[in-house]
Structure 1
Amino acid sequence: MKPGDRSHTGVIPAPTEPIAMSEAQRRALFMMASVLLDYPDDGWEHKLRVVHEQAATLPAGVEKLLQPFFAFAYQQGQRGLEEHYVSTFDQRRRCSLFLTYYAVGDTRQRGAAIWAFKEALESMSFTMQRDELPDHLCVVLEAAALADDQSHSMACGMLSAHRDGIEVLRTALEHAGSPYAGIVTAICAALPPIDDATRENFLELIRSGPPAEVVGIESPLPFPTSQPGY
């Protein structure tokens, strides 16, 4: 089965095509996306205005992807956006912002996979200062935005290693009609084109969902616990 074909869930979507951008623009996008995909807490309206202003520095195709979210956020206000956030990310399994969910599902491997994220972030000299697990998409995006040189490449590699799951998140958000879909599409557009193996993983996740618990069978962690050469 390939993108464009139909399954019992509907048309199989195609992965996102990349959009050319500089490293500075990519870093800026990752930081903006980290802010916009976070829960709209105190100070949200100020953050929204700042990000909206900075979006003009991004390539036109990327800025266009973000505009529907800005319009929705201003229209809904903080209270309305809070409700949409909870109904989208907390109540839809395929809209999870935790990357290990797509890689290993709710299995006993999840703890080790989350620990691998923690080790990877610590190897880049990042320590958690927010009340989130280290595999949260906002956490990895912030690391990719702020990391220097090799650490930046490693953080981008972590995102690329979970490209299949991020594409599933994008597809689920599009299916739900959520304006958050444009933000995730922009993230995918900032990453390199996916290879055949990642495309197949993406399609399998669309068809079957994340892995279920299988006792006695081991699967690899989402990426090596030692620092890889991205």
Structure 2
Amino acid sequence: MTAGADNPLARPLAALARVLDYPSATLQAHADELADILCVLSELSDAERTAVHAFIDDLAQRDLLEIQARYVDTFDRGRKVSLYVFEHVYGESRDRGPAMIELTRVYREHGLESHTRELPDFLPMLLEFCAQLPEPDARAWLVETTHVLQRISVRLSQRDSGYASAFTVLLRLIGAEPAPEGLTEMAGKEVRDDTPAAIDDVWMEKPVTFGPGEAHTNCGATRQNRPEPDTGSAPSAHIQGD
């Protein structure tokens, strides 16, 4: 499948996929290009545009190992800002498995085969998929994720993470508010799940199992060893927020 030439969202969605993926030397090398694509969007306010530019500049200028460690600390220490969309929909429910299968089937129907070890609900993969669709179809897929994206956005903002600016861009592109008042208030009252104490509690509560079992839902532990992501993938049919 070729990139959606008739989709004005194609370039910004592909750029956001790169920004939200695990940082690489390739990302740093193309940071100026990514900033040029995202910072000219008319949907952004001047303040939002400035925040995006500052964040991408920071990604480009810092030591690669430092921004990789920051990425893991941001997205892989807990579930509240996970980039795996179904994490917010199903959690550890058994329903997540069939949803993954259905999502993979949709990818294949569109001629997309993933050659990475990422789960199919990984947000950058969804963005790459939508970048290759006609605009109405891309919007339809993304609008289904709105509530999930908004929750991640306000939580990242509460944590003063620069990654919140990428979610601001994405939500503005689909005509959604990045920081709804109710969700912002909710995030301010939440107990964070990425602190050392919270992580210890999760490990203490998790039962010990032996032998084959359900697939692990968080790929963060192997993230540094994975190959560069493929350029295609998508979400499932009915995505609701947590």
- Whether TM exceeds 0.5 here: the answer is yes
Distance in 2 separating the partners of 1:73 and 1:31: 17
Q: Which amino acid aligns with 2:95?
A: Q
Whether 2:52 is the aligned partner of 1:66: answer yes
Map of 2:214 onto structure 1: none
Map of 1:180 onto structure 2: 163
Cα 1:107/1:202, change in 2 over 3 Å: farther
State the TM-score, normalized to the length of structure 2.
0.65
Map of 1:51 onto structure 2: 34
Distance in 1 separating the partners of 2:148 and 2:38: 25
Distance in 2 separating the partners of 1:56 and 1:184: 13
Map of 1:167 onto structure 2: 150
Cα 1:161/1:48, change in 2 over 3 Å: same
Flag the structure with higher helix content: 1
SS of 1:43's partner is helix
State the TM-score, normalized to the length of structure 1.
0.68
Map of 2:202 onto structure 1: none
Cα 1:156/1:117, change in 2 over 3 Å: farther
Cα 1:185/1:103, change in 2 over 3 Å: same
Distance in 2 separating the partners of 1:109 and 1:95: 20
Whether 2:22 is the aligned partner of 1:39: answer yes
Cα 1:222/1:32, change in 2 over 3 Å: closer
Whether 2:98 is the aligned partner of 1:117: answer no
Asked whether the 8 Å contact 1:68–1:182 carries over to 2, the reply is no
Q: Which amino acid aligns with 1:162?
A: T
Distance in 1 separating the partners of 2:88 and 2:175: 19
Whether 2:206 is the aligned partner of 1:223: answer no
Unpaired stretches in structure 2, ≥5 consecutive residues:
1-5, 192-234
Asked whether the 8 Å contact 1:170–1:184 carries over to 2, the reply is yes
Query: How far does the alpha carbon of each residue in 1:11-49 deviate from its partner, in whole angstroms, 9 at most, with x for none?
Result: xxxxxxxxxxx942x222111100000101242321323
Cα 1:157/1:37, change in 2 over 3 Å: same
Most deviating of 167-176 and 48-57: 48-57
Map of 1:14 onto structure 2: none
Q: What RMSD in Å do the two structures reach over aligned CA positions? A: 3.2
Most deviating of 29-38 and 59-68: 59-68
Map of 1:214 onto structure 2: none
Distance in 2 separating the partners of 1:167 and 1:184: 8
Cα 1:44/1:208, change in 2 over 3 Å: closer
Distance in 2 separating the partners of 1:168 and 1:63: 21
Q: Which amino acid aligns with 1:108?
A: R
